Chain A
Amino acid sequence: MKLEEYKGIYVFIEQREGIIQNVALELLGQARKLADELNDKVYAMLLGHQITDQAQSLIARGADEVIVVDAPELKEYTTEPYTQAICQIINERKPESLFIGATTLGRDLGPRVSARVGTGLTADCTKIEIGENGEMLMTRPAFGGNLMATIVCKNHRPQMGTVRPGVLFAMDADESRTGAIVNYEVKFNAAKFRVKLLETVKEDNNLIDITEARILVSGGRGIGNKEGFEAMDALANTLNAEVSASRAMVDAGYIGHDRQVGQTGKTVRPDLYFAFGISGAIQHVAGMEDSDLIIAVNKDKHAPIFQVADLGIVGDAKQIIKKLTERLEKQN
């Protein structure tokens, strides 16, 4: 492998039902910064069916070139057709690095692609920087968020990483940016398509994704039960906020997994994060510590959550939620 033949930062643009996912824009924003530092280019790989009209928006978000693969085989994601398309692009174009959102889709696609082309993949990165020799330094949590590890892929290309949604910043759309849009033809081997998608079922689609919420009202063991969550709902309503939870509450069945904050849930970065009755295990903190303002309420004044909170209140979370809701309702 001649490393110098490999050039360009490639970003997989995840779309679902033709809608480009935020994580793809976050990756583009970061790729733009890295490319400017390296004097390199950003390539967006847009795969799907009848999606070409969205290519221009990716240039506004930081891409120099959009590689569009528009094919009926790619209408909805299944592993094999997407793997074939990405691998063909890798083999022909020889990217220096390639980033994919660490979603249930990206974490299915990434390892399959990395194994097919025989390169390294760093899972669930929360930070990407450039090292002394221009290599990608990919930092990720390990041991349940207790430790951070920076991973490099020295002698293989592309350097691949999946990146957690909600940790990098998209750039504002700049319609004056220019770039190329290339329609790319993939030769599919349909004999290898052995998984048939029967249907995709959406649940909870009336709720905003917690990674996109401006204010989160989050509850843990100290909230106790269903009534506790109903009280949090009422508080969230007065603040136009969303409700989220620690893992314990998800495991207890009070709230869905899509609302879980933390290492095995989602990473969130709202303007305001309320932690009610959450002790602040490192696994939870890993998913919310970058929130702009953290207000924690807990009975135990030694709870670790107070180490990351900007404002800590030692007290009964349930009573404080009730009183705070009353005061805010009056104010509205």
Chain B
Amino acid sequence: MKIVVCIKQVPDTTEIKIDPITGTLIRDGVPSIMNPDDKSGLEMALQLKDEKGAHVTVITMGPPQADLILREAYAMGVDRAIHLTDRKFAGADTLATSHALAGALRKIDFDLLITGRQAIDGDTAQVGPQIAEHLDLPQVSYLEDLKFDGDKTFTMKRHIEDGYQMLEVEAPCVVTVLSSANTPRYMNVGGIVDAYQKEVEVWGFNEIEVDEKDLGLKGSPTSVHKAFARGLKPAGELYEVGTDEAVGIIIKKLKEKFILN
């Protein structure tokens, strides 16, 4: 089986803080990581490789420094890494991003395409299904688990709000994976050294199959009108008192607001 996994380098948003004076994002010193949902998608691919044998390719679209997550993927055990980078891709919204990735994926033969459900910098969950549409492939999003019958049929477990769904899909298909699906493996030590010896293929516009008008800023129907820090309301009352008194204050407040009689 041939598997392709789309991964993205993102700032670790749990480390981002807002400057309380200027109200702007503090990004200095915020580490860049492989997006968590994508990493679980990669782990899913590597488990299929361990169990059934598979050839796993990772692909990322991003600036030169995104090379780092491709090395990380090599150290986790992938067979091939492709770095999609070109000025023509810059300024892309989700639709233009999905066109660029689909353009690259048309050049790769695969049975299963895995993406993370969403990236933690944008939280949109759109690129995976949009790629599936451009490639005219069926999609299953919010994937928690997957079984392969060894021939061409996948049985999939999809998360929904109040439970899950079991679905059956034939290869080739596209899935978007939740980070709760598994715990990604660590890079192995020998693998880290080897990862820097291996070749990362760098692809630009000329290597892929896509209409130029669908790319980058030009190919993006949406644009940011404005961005701003979320305003905080004024702080309320704060008490530092003993437990009994604290409970008294809470009950008084609940009565004041007619939550208690």
Contacts and interface: CB of A to CB of B under 8 A. Distances in A.
Interface of A: 78-80, 103-105, 107-108, 110-112, 114-116, 118-124, 131, 137, 141-156, 192, 194-205, 209, 215, 239, 257-258, 263-264, 271-272, 281-283, 286, 289, 292-295, 297, 301, 306-316, 319-320, 323-324, 327-328, 331
Contacts of A119: 95, 221
Contacts of B260: 328, 331
B165 A153 contact: no
Contacts of B226: 149-150
A146 B16 contact: yes
A74 B105 CA distance: 31
10 contacts: A111-B133, A120-B93, A144-B16, A147-B227, A150-B225, A151-B225, A200-B165, A201-B164, A239-B259, A271-B259
A201 B160 CA distance: 9
A78 B168 CA distance: 11
B247 A327 contact: yes
B243 A311 contact: no
Contact of A197 (B11, B138, B167): B167
B159 A104 contact: yes
A314 B169 contact: no
A147 B170 CA distance: 40
A144 B12 CA distance: 9
Question: Does more than half of chain A's interface fall in helix, strand or loop, or is it mixed?
Answer: mixed
A118 B98 CA distance: 11
Interface of B: 11, 13-14, 16-18, 25, 93-95, 98, 120-130, 132-134, 136, 138-142, 155, 158-170, 173, 180, 220-230, 232-233, 235-244, 246-247, 249-251, 253-254, 257, 259-260
B130 to A, nearest CB: 4
B126 A209 contact: no
Nearest to A294: B236
Question: Does more than half of chain B's interface fall in helix, strand or loop, or is it mixed?
Answer: mixed
Contacts of A107: 125-126, 141
A264 B142 CA distance: 13
A153 B95 contact: no
A201 B162 CA distance: 8
Contacts of B129: 79, 108, 111-112, 115
B138 A79 contact: yes
Contacts of B239: 311-314
B228 A104 contact: no
Contact of B222 (A153, A192, A316): A153
B167 A148 contact: no
Contact of B13 (A121, A143, A149): A143
A189 B255 CA distance: 60
B92 to A, nearest CB: 12
Given A142-B121, A147-B230, A153-B223, 7 more contacts: A123-B123, A142-B227, A309-B235, A311-B237, A312-B237, A315-B240, A327-B251
B245 to A, nearest CB: 9
Contacts of B136: 192
A144 B13 contact: yes
Contacts of B222: 120-122, 151-153
A141 B230 contact: yes
Contacts of B246: 297, 313, 315, 320, 323
Contact of A320 (B133, B164, B243): B243
Nearest to B157: A201
Given A142-B123, A153-B222, A272-B259, A314 B138 contact: no
